[in-house]
């Protein structure tokens, strides 16, 4: 029986159902004709004439057309069975493929194109439409042109904490504008600093909040010239030292600082005389500067600005690797 099922299966796979019907009927008729011929020959051998033996064999067999139809029906019912099995398996395969496609689309890892639809805040571009605007003026109220404004925005999107830096330069009227910096409808914090040549470093920290940020106003006090001089231990000037002002503590104990991640626009390098102008502090203040000697890493130096002199000498530490050893 198993063999017949296998043969029927291969037959179904090779031919359409209507071709199976024609072929089955022809095969059955040929088999019946062979059987009738053999029965008639047996009767001829028994002494009956040929015509009567054929008639007797036909009468003994019965209605040929009915037998053909019955046999064909039985044979085709097997093909119908396999046809239905085929349809069920095909439907199941389609459902399985559809489910796998849906599951992959829901759980596939984020690609670069997916991430590009998000703003640096971690929220969508449409959500991150908050602007940081403001004005930088002197302590006399005059606008400060070309002042550096360095902002760091902190956000807490569903996929983790974000901290991003933004920079701007004031216009001739002292105003500045940074677009698309934070999501007004979500939690955010902002640290913002202003730095201008010959003026005091000033910063402000805006704690956790939501909504639109009010314009920021910096009023910078003018300062006297102040220079950092970098020398080796034998007094030789060192060129190529990178440095920028990091923090100052004013007389009231308030800290004003620049975040390292936003400091690139204000980094300077010492010239052939080993000097960098850094007029952003007041005499007597405790300050911190970031310094990187050639072939060395960034480090912080805590200093006290001299009351009288406008210059302070810094030498390499034991960890700095200079070309002269």
The domains of the chain are located at 125-220, 226-314
What does the pLDDT read at residue 113? Answer: 45
pLDDT tens for each residue of 286-298: 999 999 999 999 9
The stretch 211-225 carries a mean pLDDT of 96
Integer distance in angstroms from the first to the last C-alpha of the chain?
94
- Token pair 């599951």: residue: 103
| Helix-helix angle 64-107:17-45, to 10 degrees | 150
Single pTM value for the model? 0.63
pLDDT tens for each residue of 166-195: 999 999 999 999 999 999 999 999 999 999
- What whole-number distance in Å separates Cα of residue 133 and Cα of residue 306? 35
CATH architecture of 125-220: Sandwich (2.60)
**Identical fold, 125-220 and 226-314:** yes
Structure tokens at 199: 């003026």
Map 280-297 to HEC letters: CCCCCCEEEEEEECCCCC
- What whole-number distance in Å separates Cα of residue 223 and Cα of residue 138? 11
Map 206-265 to HEC letters: EEEECCCCCCEEEEECECCCCEEEEECCCCCECCCCEEEEEEEECCCCCEEECCHHHCHH
Q: With DSSP H G I counted as helix, E B as strand and the rest as coil, what are the percentages for the chain, rounded to 5?
A: 35, 30, 35
pLDDT tens for each residue of 64-105: 666 656 666 666 566 656 666 766 777 778 778 778 877 777
Name the class of domain 226-314.
Answer: mainly beta
Rg value, the chain, Cα: 47
């Amino acid at each position: 029986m198993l063999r017949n099922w296998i043969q029927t299966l291969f037959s179904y796979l090779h031919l359409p159902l209507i071709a199976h019907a024609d072929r089955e009927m022809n095969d059955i008729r040929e088999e019946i004709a062979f059987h009738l011929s053999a029965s008639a020959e047996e009767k001829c051998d028994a002494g009956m004439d040929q015509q009567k033996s054929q008639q007797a064999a036909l009468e003994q067999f019965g209605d040929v057309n009915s037998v053909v139809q019955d046999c064909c029906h039985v044979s085709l019912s097997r093909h119908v069975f396999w046809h239905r099995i085929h349809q069920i398996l095909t439907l199941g395969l389609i459902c399985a493929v559809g489910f796998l496609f849906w599951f992959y689309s829901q759980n596939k890892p984020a690609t670069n194109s997916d991430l590009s639809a998000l703003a640096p805040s971690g929220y969508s571009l449409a959500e991150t439409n908050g602007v940081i605007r403001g004005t930088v003026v002197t302590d006399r109220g005059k606008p400060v042109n070309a002042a550096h404004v360095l902002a760091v925005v902190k956000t807490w999107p569903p996929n983790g904490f974000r901290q991003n830096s933004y920079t701007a330069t004031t216009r001739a009227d002292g105003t500045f504008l940074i677009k698309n910096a934070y999501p007004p409808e979500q939690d955010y914090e902002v640290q913002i600093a202003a730095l201008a040549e010959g003026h005091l470093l000033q910063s402000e920290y805006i704690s956790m909040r939501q909504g639109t940020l009010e314009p920021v106003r910096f009023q910078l006090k003018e300062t006297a010239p102040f220079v950092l001089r970098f020398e080796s231990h034998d007094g030789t000037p060192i060129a190529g030292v990178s440095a920028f002002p990091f923090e100052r503590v004013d007389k009231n104990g308030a800290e004003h600082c620049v975040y390292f991640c936003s400091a690139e626009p204000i980094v300077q390098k010492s010239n052939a005389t080993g000097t960098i102008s850094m007029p952003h502090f007041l005499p007597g203040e405790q300050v911190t500067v970031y310094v990187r000697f050639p072939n060395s890493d960034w480090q912080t130096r805590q200093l006290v600005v001299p009351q009288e002199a406008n210059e302070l000498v810094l030498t390499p530490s034991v960890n700095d690797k200079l070309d002269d050893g």
